[in-house]
Amino acid sequence: MQKMPQWADVVLIPLISLLLAALLSALVILAIGENPWSALKLMVDGSMGSTYAWGYTLYYATNFIFTGLAVAIAIHARLFNIGGEGQAMLGGLGVALIALYIPWPHWSIALLGGAVGAALFGAAWALIPAWLQAKRGSHIVITTIMFNFIAAALLNYLLIGALKPSGSMEPATGRFPEATHLPTFQDMFSTAETALFRGAPVNVSFFVALLACVAVWALIWRTRLGYEIRAFGQSESAAKYAGISPTRIIVVTMLISGGLAGMMAINNVMGEAERLVLNAVEGAGFIGIAVALMGRSHPFGVLLAALLFGFLYQGGAELALWTSIPRELIVVIQALVILFTGALDNMVRMPLEAMFLRLRPAPKPARKTEPAE
Residues 284-320 pLDDT 10s: 999 999 899 888 899 999 999 999 999 989 988 888 8
Q: Supply the mean pLDDT for the chain.
A: 91
Q: Report the pLDDT averaged over residues 154-181.
A: 93
What was the pLDDT predicted at 61? 97
User: In this structure, is residue 86 part of a structural domain?
Assistant: yes
Its pTM stands at 0.92
The pLDDT of residue 17: 86
Q: How far apart are CA 160 and CA 97, in angstroms?
A: 15
Q: What is the mean pLDDT of residues 326-354?
A: 80
pLDDT at position 95 over 90: yes
Instruction: Render pLDDT for 179-222 as a digit per residue (tens, 0 to 9).
Output: 999 999 999 999 888 899 999 999 999 999 999 999 999 999 99
CATH number of domain containing 214: 1.10.3470
- Kindly state whether residue 139 falls inside one of the protein's structural domains: yes
Report the distance separating Cα 1 and Cα 71, nearest Å: 27
Quick check: is 333 in a domain? Answer: no
Q: pLDDT category, 142, cuts 50, 70, 90?
A: very high
Cα(96)–Cα(12) distance, rounded to whole angstroms?
42
* Residue among 56, 74, 116, 4 at smallest CA distance from 257: 74
Structural domain includes residue 69: yes
pLDDT (mean) for 101-124: 97
Domain assignment present for residue 12? The answer is: no
Residue 362 in domain? no
Q: How confident is the model at residue 372 (pLDDT cuts 50, 70, 90)?
A: low
How many domains in the chain?
Answer: 1
What's the rounded Cα separation, in Å, for the pair 342 and 344? 6
3-class state of residue 85 by DSSP: helix
- Give the confidence band of 323 by pLDDT, cuts at 50, 70, 90: confident
d(CA 75, CA 83): 13
Q: How far apart are CA 63 and CA 281, in angstroms?
A: 9
Q: What range does the domain containing 248 cover?
A: 35-323
Residue 176 falls inside a structural domain: yes
Residue 22 domain flag: no
Residue 256, pLDDT score:
98
The predicted-structure confidence for 207-262, as pLDDT tens digits, reads as follows: 999 999 999 999 999 999 999 999 999 999 999 999 999 999 999 999 999 999 99
